[in-house]
Amino acid sequence: MSVFRAIASMFSDRILAEETIRKQEEVYEGQKRLYPELEPHDHLAQVWLSRMAAAGHDPHDSTMQMLAYTETMQFACVPPPKCARALALFILYKENERVIEGSVEYQEEFEKLMSPVMKADEKGRMLELYAKYNPKRAAQMKQEDEAGG
C-alpha cells in the first residue's frame, strides 16, 4: 500500500475496504503460486492466518491452525478465486463492521457469493459443495469421519 493510500484509508471507508480486500486476494494468489499442489481451503486458511499474524496472534500455534480451517470452511465452498474475495469481505466485516454495513454494494456481493453455500448448507449438502473445490481434503475428512465413528 502506498503511503498516500495508507493515509487516505484512515479517512475513507471505501479505500480501507478496497485495500483490505486487495491484500487478502493478493495473499491468496501468492499462496496458490507458492503451493499449487494445495487446495483452495489450504490457501484460504493461510490468508486467515496471515491476517491473524498481523493482529499479533501466533500463526504457528496449533489452536490458531485449527481455527484457520474452521473459520474458512464455508468460504472454501465458493469457487476459486472468488473464495478469497468472500473471505476478504468477511474479514472486513469482522474488523470494521461499519464499512460493510455502510455499503450496500459489499453486502450484496457477499450475499451473492455466499448464497449457494447457505442453500447447500440448508439442504445438508455443504460437504458435497466443499468436495467440488477441495476433493483431497473432503476425502480426508470422510476417511477421518469413518474411522472415528
Instruction: Region of 124 please: left (phi>0), alpha (psi -120 to 50) or beta.
Output: left
CA gyration radius for the chain?
16
Please state, in angstroms and rounded to a whole number, the distance separating the CA atoms of residues 101 and 147.
Answer: 44
**For residue 4, is it within any domain?**
no
**For residue 7, is it within any domain?**
no
Please state, in angstroms and rounded to a whole number, the distance separating the CA atoms of residues 75 and 81.
Answer: 10
Nearest to 126 by CA among 135, 136, 116: 116
pLDDT at 97: 86
Residue for grid cell 468460504: 75
pLDDT at 5: 47
Please state, in angstroms and rounded to a whole number, the distance separating the CA atoms of residues 62 and 50.
Answer: 14
Instruction: Give how many domains the chain has, as a whole number.
Output: 1
Supply the pTM of this predicted model.
Answer: 0.88
Domain holding 63, by residue range, is 12-148
**For residue 3, is it within any domain?**
no
pLDDT at 3: 52
**For residue 142, is it within any domain?**
yes
pLDDT at 142: 87
pLDDT in tens, 91-147: 999 998 888 888 899 999 999 999 999 999 999 999 999 999 999 999 998 888 888
Measured CA angle at 40 (ends 137, 144), to 5 deg: 10
**For residue 2, is it within any domain?**
no
Is pLDDT of 84 > 80?
yes
**For residue 107, is it within any domain?**
yes
**For residue 65, is it within any domain?**
yes
pLDDT in tens, 20-75: 999 999 999 999 999 999 999 999 999 999 999 999 999 999 999 999 999 999 99
